């Protein structure tokens, strides 16, 4: 009864139509886009779309897609959403090699750097893991089931990421928390070691990104939030290194903190490979803000608004 009422309440917090999603292949070979329940993939060099092959009957997804993700090596692509299905695709054949059922609607995805595990978060704050050992693009995986990895205790998880070297899995939620968890050697037994919590946002955490440099291969974490800020964190300690008020800088919030139309949320983040620049998408801003990230000084500053 409690689960039903929570899910009904959570539905009222979201818009009826899922936002459009875009994911780019690590080597820019292809780009995937999802709008509602429609999923399409385009081969950039050939300028054509891909015929996705799914042996299951019916449409690829039956309800809004909430998360799409390429693996770090580009061999895997995963899509999931409100139909409680997690579909794992081979990017060589664009065939669905595995479909996993979720107990609840899926809100976020992550793929381990070695491509052996797919993790997904559901609307009740549980992160699940699927073992892909033995996968092959021409041999669909059968009877694969997800097992619980960690939980945020009934707080909706909004973002899920692996750190560059794969040591940590980072999860963020609607209750303004960011949790850094050590990804275990045996994930099917659960992740029990918490490295740190990154605490400081005053509204929901909407997105995560990483910035790296040759001097710091482990990198730093960048987060965006409904509090209209972008924050830079030290992963291992959870320390806040810098904060940039993007809403105020864009003129969407007055400098004295008075809201014009509420604090505009940061909706997405994207960092350049060298970690020097961060592109920030902000609600109500018809463009993007470009931030400079000085990793040696551990500071954020504005470059321009485009």
Least confident of 48-57, 67-76, 119-128, 157-166: 48-57
pLDDT digits 0-9 by tens, 109-147: 999 999 999 999 999 999 999 999 866 555 667 778 999
| E strand or H helix that includes residue 247 | helix 246-249
**CA dihedral for 181, 67, 208, 275, sign (positive or negative):** positive
C-alpha distance from residue 304 to each of 147, 211, 247, 278, 291 (Å): 44, 19, 13, 11, 7
**What is the pTM (predicted TM-score) of this model?**
0.88
- Give exposure, 133-165, as e/b (b: 16+ Cβ within 10 Å): eebeeeebbeebebeebbbbeebbbbbbbbbbe
Kindly state whether residue 113 falls inside one of the protein's structural domains.
yes
Residue 218 has what pLDDT?
75
- Does a structural domain hold residue 78? yes
Q: Which residues contact 247 (CB under 8 A, 6 or more apart)?
A: 228, 229, 253, 263, 264, 282
Q: Is 96 exposed, middle or buried (0-12, 13-18, 19+ CB in 10 A)?
A: buried
pLDDT digits (tens, 9 = 90+) for 145-161: 999 999 998 899 999 99
Residue 87 in domain: yes
- Burial environment of residue 245 by CB neighbours within 10 A (0 to 12, 13 to 18, 19 or more): middle
Q: How far apart are CA 208 and CA 223, in angstroms?
A: 5
Position 120 in a domain: yes
Expressed as residue numbers, the domain containing 72 is: 1-144
Between the alpha carbon of residue 18 and those of residues 7, 42, 50, 64, 66, the distances in Å are 16, 21, 22, 6, 7
Instruction: Tally the domains of the chain.
Output: 1
The answer to whether position 22 is within a domain reads yes
- What CATH number should be reported for the domain holding residue 71? 2.130.10.10
Using alpha carbons, select from 146, 50, 46 the residue that is nearest to residue 106: 146
Q: Is residue 294 part of a domain?
A: no
Mean of per-residue pLDDT scores for the chain? 88
pLDDT digit string, tens, across residues 235-293: 999 999 999 999 999 888 765 545 445 789 999 999 988 889 999 999 989 989 999 99
């Amino acid at each position: 009864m409690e689960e039903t009422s929570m899910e009904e309440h959570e539905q009222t917090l979201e818009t009826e139509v899922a936002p459009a999603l875009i994911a780019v292949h690590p080597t820019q070979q292809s780009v995937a886009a999802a709008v509602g329940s429609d999923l399409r993939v385009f081969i950039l060099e050939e300028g054509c779309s891909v015929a996705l092959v799914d042996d299951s009957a019916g449409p690829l997804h039956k309800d809004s897609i909430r998360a799409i993700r390429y693996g770090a090596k580009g061999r895997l692509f995963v899509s999931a959403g409100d139909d409680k299905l997690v579909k794992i695709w081979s990017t060589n054949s664009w065939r669905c090699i595995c479909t996993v059922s979720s107990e609840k609607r899926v809100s976020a995805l992550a793929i381990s750097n070695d491509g052996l595990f797919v993790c997904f978060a559901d609307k009740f704050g549980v992160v699940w893991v699927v073992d892909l050992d033995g996968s092959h693009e021409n041999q669909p995986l059968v009877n694969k089931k997800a097992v619980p990895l960690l939980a945020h205790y009934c707080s909706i998880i909004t973002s899920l990421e692996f750190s560059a070297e794969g040591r940590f899995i980072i999860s963020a939620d609607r209750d303004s928390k960011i949790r850094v968890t050590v990804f275990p050697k045996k994930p099917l037994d659960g992740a029990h070691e918490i490295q740190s919590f990154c605490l400081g946002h005053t509204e929901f955490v909407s997105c995560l990104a990483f910035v790296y440099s040759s001097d710091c291969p482990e990198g730093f974490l960048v987060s965006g939030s409904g509090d209209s800020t972008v924050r830079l964190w030290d992963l291992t300690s959870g320390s806040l290194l810098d904060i940039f008020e993007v809403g105020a800088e864009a003129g969407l919030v007055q400098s004295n903190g008075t809201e014009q139309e509420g604090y505009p949320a940061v909706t997405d983040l994207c960092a350049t490979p060298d970690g020097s620049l961060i592109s920030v998408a902000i609600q109500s801003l018809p463009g993007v803000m470009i931030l400079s990230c000085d990793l040696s000084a551990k500071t954020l500053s504005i470059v321009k608004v485009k």
